[in-house]
Structure 1
Amino acid sequence: MPEPAGWWRAVTLLALGQMRRRPAAFVGLAVALFLAVATLTLFGSLFAADITAPAAARKATTGPSLMVIAGAFGEIAVLVAFFVVVNALGFAVRQQHREVALLRTIAATPRQARRLVRGQVVVTTLLAAAPGWAVGAAVAQGFLAELQRRGMAAPGVRVPGTPIPMLVALAGALAVGLAASAVAARRISRMAPAAALTASSTEHGRTGTLRLLAAIGALVGGCLLLRLAATRSAEQVDKAGQAALLSSLVLLVAVALAGPLAARFLAAALGSPVRALAPGAGWLADANLRGYARRLSSAVVPVALLVGLSGTMLIMTSTAEHAAGAAASSVTSATDVWLRQIELALLVCFAAVSTVNTLVAVTAERRREFALLRLLGATRSQLLRMLSTEAVLTTAVGVLLGAAVAGTASAAFSTAVSGSPVPSLPVAGCCWIAAGATALTVPGILATGLRAVRGPAAELVGGGRD
């Protein structure tokens, strides 16, 4: 069916209007796309530097080439970027749920609704491109200089002045964003118009069959990658590490897909002692978390992503150092550790953005719920105690899921490098990861909750404010 005349102009104006009206809803998406552009620019620049380097310069260094380093870092970064962008865009779409549903009721087709979301992704990506290019290019220069200082790149290698890495980064970020838009807009675009208007205030009780099948497929894929990592020889530490890290990401995807089931189970297990310790706020927090398992899953998955990826990297690094011992030179060991620390910092940046954006969005969505509780007699202090309890439970569930993924992936890596499935566990580092997840989760929920409980309750329940 051909589009009416002026449809594209109307869609563009509507997309921009929504972004101006709800800029906070697109902040997380913009930051995620900025990181994607910067990361792709960084590794694209290293790739270009390796291609344009003289043959003598390539032979003058030992160890992995710039192309290998860029490829190893880039493949994981792109997958994590996609994960984070899907999450951020999903909340941006949910913030516009009513407007998109209203468009559906006045004869907008599902394809037109998806085009609206795609238009917003394209605009946000273009806005994030310039700062992403600048940061990525600057980091590429510094990263190359540090590699040269460590003897991993020849002194004569330079980042070329070609714009090709930036254009490739923009194309890659657009591809990630458009793929994410197809995932994020799927539910609202396929829903019947009348049902879409009421869907934002309800939650489905069951996880869809397709989602469960996808979760099972991701779980099987993660197990195959675990087997691949565990069966690598001790001389193939890098390949075992990449397979283990990729398996942790795939297993986290399985956790995200089966999140409502896993989150409901863990919340029920942890909720009983909380209800005993805090009969009032604990009972209400436990009821909220178990009654809204999908919402809990949305909050838990980024925490699990942060803990799972950073924990896997930290434990693998410790295990590799322990297994190497005196067999590896100090220079090689220090360089390997440094490269893993850089990769860990990059993954933590993506995961932290996803965690903060998700928790802020999930809590802000509950304004009407908080207003209704206030009308029923709850005070602001009681609501904040309930939120504090929910934040602690959410953190605990996310940390447990992330720790399970990190432990499984690290055991496969340890089997490859030492022959034992028991990895070397840096207790202090793991405690810091759990503390960091808590520091991002609890203050983020409480700060957003303080803002969400402000304002006249009757007006918020009636939908007078947004």
Structure 2
Amino acid sequence: MPPIPAVALGQLRRRPAAFAGLAAAQLLALATVTLFGSLLAADLTAPAGTPRAASGPGVAVVAAGFGEIAVLVAFFVVANALGFALRQQHRELALLRAAAATPRQIRRLVRGEVLATTLLVALPGWALGHLAAGRFLTALQRRDMAAPTLAVPGSPLPGLAALAAALLVGLAASAVGARRISRTTPAAALTGSAADPGRTGAVRLLAGVAVLVGGGLLLRLAATRPADQLDKAGQAALLGSLVLLVAVALLGPLAARALVAGLGAPLRAAAPRTGWLADANLRGHAHRLASAVVPVALLTGLSGTMTIMTTTAERAAERATAHAAELSAELSTGLTTGPAASSVTSASDIWLRQAELAMLVCFATVATVNTLVALTVDRRREFALLRLAGATRHRLLAVLGVEAVLTAAVGVLLGAGVAAAASAAFSTAVTGTMAPAVPAAACGWIAGGALVLTLPGILVPALWATTGPAAALVAGGGRD
């Protein structure tokens, strides 16, 4: 077997599409950690006696609050992208095992690929993060949320910390991803290279239940926060929604199969051929379906949670302000509007929440597009076999269109469930009731956006995956 570094670089050259998603995810992760690390460095290196912000919590608190969720989401996207990069290489890795490659060599190969991909995007990630830090700090200063004398330092430490974090997460994810192929026998690895797991394993099921319980505890913590700690309640609710989405990822095959069974029934009745094929494909490959719906659920769940929480806080503040004004007019006393109308709903805080939402949507969009494209391209050999069996390209694209609609619907429903739970917990802390204020128009745009991403994310790569001679694709194993 050639040296491991040479094989790893060869895989990157042979399958650039397989690693494009991982490169984009690592680029975002590096930029994110560099961004918030640079903001913390700006606050820590400020000269003694530098005045604090005129309004808002200050740069360090903003960076820590933003970074807590954004970094977790970024690395969730990295792990997801790496999983698909490995999946697209599964056949090659199985062939290497059959050619006498040891499990240790396979793990080293995967680590080499992660290292090469991360180093490739390190400089662009640092530059993007440093530039974003300067722009973000300027925006904070314009809103009197940062001292005007603060500046982003030119220290390389934030970038080096970002690189170390990205490598740590990437290597940890690669260890998990390479475990299946490296621990099986060469024959079993080769024969199972294209197989979809039939059932959810007991370990994964137990882990999913445990994570689900952990998410519930975080939401309970958010719901029991006192009225003067609404920012902490919001952070706990948002973190709880992210933990619930991890549970969705673990329990996805079970939930996705159940939802498709219900949603597919009317499609089978309306379109007996196309609808039946799409429904059978999705239910027959529950793990593949779960992989597709998780990023859609991530997009809708986080976006919906942020949107509903912000609207709930605004409505609560409006009611508190109106009530205080009435009492003040009647009693002629200087009553305050209460904690619900404090910094939670100030113009600066609303801007911060909108910026955080935009960042989370960016991460979730990258995860959604990368996952759908990778899954569709991975089915190229399957499409060729269907074409050899008599299916026309038009029929395949019609079936995939129905699959895209069902995938978007399942992802939106799972994300809506997470958003509903997190928003109810936040609403309990803000208003004392589990019924949050739901902006119907904004939620409709979120669901529509998920559909807009899902349809081209499946159909555009399908146009490429269904081209070329079917017999040659089947004989070649569906390689790029």
Find the counterpart in structure 2 of residue 259 from structure 1: 252
Find the counterpart in structure 1 of residue 243 from structure 2: 250
* Cα distance in 2 for residues equivalent to 1:386 and 1:294: 19
1:389 to 402, 405, 413: 402
Specify whether residues 458 and 55 from structure 1 end up closer, same or farther in structure 2 by C-alpha distance, changes over 3 A only.
same
Contact 1:359–1:445 under 8 Å retained in 2: yes
**Secondary structure at 2:155 match in 1:** coil
Find the counterpart in structure 2 of residue 369 from structure 1: 382
Find the counterpart in structure 1 of residue 351 from structure 2: 338
2:11 to 3, 18, 22: 18
Q: What is the Cα deviation at residue 376 of structure 1?
A: 1.4
Contact 2:94–2:193 under 8 Å retained in 1: no
2:431 to 409, 412, 418: 418
Find the counterpart in structure 2 of residue 63 from structure 1: 56
Q: What is the Cα deviation at residue 69 of structure 1?
A: 1.1
Q: What is the Cα deviation at residue 330 of structure 1?
A: 8.5
* Cα distance in 2 for residues equivalent to 1:331 and 1:203: 47
Contact 2:53–2:145 under 8 Å retained in 1: no
Find the counterpart in structure 1 of residue 371 from structure 2: 358
Of 448-457 and 221-230, deviating more is 448-457
Q: What is the Cα deviation at residue 57 of structure 1?
A: 2.3
Contact 1:88–1:357 under 8 Å retained in 2: yes
Query: Please, what TM-score do these two structures have when normalized by structure 2?
Result: 0.93
Of 370-379 and 393-402, deviating more is 370-379
Q: What is the Cα deviation at residue 332 of structure 1?
A: 5.7
* Cα distance in 2 for residues equivalent to 1:298 and 1:167: 32
Contact 1:82–1:180 under 8 Å retained in 2: no
* Cα distance in 1 for residues equivalent to 2:467 and 2:21: 23
Of 44-53 and 57-66, deviating more is 57-66
Q: What is the Cα deviation at residue 323 of structure 1?
A: 1.3
Equivalent position amino acid for 2:39 in 1:
L
Matched, 1:48 2:61: no
* Cα distance in 2 for residues equivalent to 1:331 and 1:76: 18
Find the counterpart in structure 2 of residue 240 from structure 1: 233
Equivalent position amino acid for 2:18 in 1:
A
Find the counterpart in structure 2 of residue 288 from structure 1: 281
Equivalent position amino acid for 1:98 in 2:
R
Contact 2:380–2:478 under 8 Å retained in 1: no
Cα deviations across residues 346-402 of structure 1 (Å, max 9, x unaligned)? 111111111001101111111111111111111111111100110000000000000
Equivalent position amino acid for 1:430 in 2:
C
**Secondary structure at 1:258 match in 2:** helix
* Cα distance in 1 for residues equivalent to 2:167 and 2:316: 41
* Cα distance in 1 for residues equivalent to 2:426 and 2:105: 47
Identity of aligned residues (%): 70
Query: Please, what TM-score do these two structures have when normalized by structure 1?
Result: 0.96
Find the counterpart in structure 1 of residue 442 from structure 2: 429
* Cα distance in 2 for residues equivalent to 1:31 and 1:313: 24
Superposed counterparts of 1:156-175, under 5 Å = 156-175=149-168
* Cα distance in 2 for residues equivalent to 1:49 and 1:58: 13
* Cα distance in 2 for residues equivalent to 1:337 and 1:254: 29
Equivalent position amino acid for 1:456 in 2:
P
Equivalent position amino acid for 2:349 in 1:
D
Cα deviations across residues 155-213 of structure 1 (Å, max 9, x unaligned)? 11111121111111111111121122122222222222211112232222111111001
2:101 to 95, 108, 127: 108
**Secondary structure at 1:308 match in 2:** helix
Find the counterpart in structure 2 of residue 447 from structure 1: 460
Specify whether residues 234 and 117 from structure 1 end up closer, same or farther in structure 2 by C-alpha distance, changes over 3 A only.
same
Equivalent position amino acid for 2:219 in 1:
L
Of 48-57 and 384-393, deviating more is 48-57
Contact 2:80–2:367 under 8 Å retained in 1: yes
Matched, 1:177 2:170: yes
Equivalent position amino acid for 1:158 in 2:
A
* Cα distance in 2 for residues equivalent to 1:118 and 1:464: 25
1:348 to 350, 354, 361: 361
Q: What is the Cα deviation at residue 329 of structure 1?
A: 6.0
Find the counterpart in structure 2 of residue 189 from structure 1: 182
Superposed counterparts of 1:450-461, under 5 Å = 450-461=463-474
Contact 1:274–1:283 under 8 Å retained in 2: yes
**Secondary structure at 2:57 match in 1:** coil
Q: What is the Cα deviation at residue 53 of structure 1?
A: 1.4
Contact 1:90–1:185 under 8 Å retained in 2: no
Find the counterpart in structure 2 of residue 404 from structure 1: 417
Matched, 1:463 2:476: yes
Matched length: 459
Contact 1:86–1:183 under 8 Å retained in 2: no
Contact 2:57–2:145 under 8 Å retained in 1: yes
Specify whether residues 81 and 435 from structure 1 end up closer, same or farther in structure 2 by C-alpha distance, changes over 3 A only.
same
CA RMSD of aligned residues (A): 1.5
Matched, 1:312 2:269: no
Find the counterpart in structure 2 of residue 3 from structure 1: none
Equivalent position amino acid for 1:259 in 2:
G
* Cα distance in 2 for residues equivalent to 1:48 and 1:329: 28
* Cα distance in 1 for residues equivalent to 2:345 and 2:261: 47
Contact 1:35–1:132 under 8 Å retained in 2: yes
Contact 2:208–2:248 under 8 Å retained in 1: yes
* Cα distance in 2 for residues equivalent to 1:11 and 1:266: 44
Task: Could you tell me which runs of 5 or more consecutive residues in structure 2 were left unpaired when the two chains were aligned.
Answer: 322-336
Find the counterpart in structure 2 of residue 271 from structure 1: 264
Matched, 1:301 2:294: yes
Specify whether residues 240 and 331 from structure 1 end up closer, same or farther in structure 2 by C-alpha distance, changes over 3 A only.
closer
Cα deviations across residues 8-60 of structure 1 (Å, max 9, x unaligned)? x7110000000000000001000000000111111001000110113432445
Task: Could you tell me which runs of 5 or more consecutive residues in structure 1 were left unpaired when the two chains were aligned.
Answer: 1-6
Specify whether residues 298 and 60 from structure 1 end up closer, same or farther in structure 2 by C-alpha distance, changes over 3 A only.
closer
Find the counterpart in structure 1 of residue 73 from structure 2: 80
* Cα distance in 2 for residues equivalent to 1:397 and 1:263: 7
Specify whether residues 423 and 465 from structure 1 end up closer, same or farther in structure 2 by C-alpha distance, changes over 3 A only.
closer
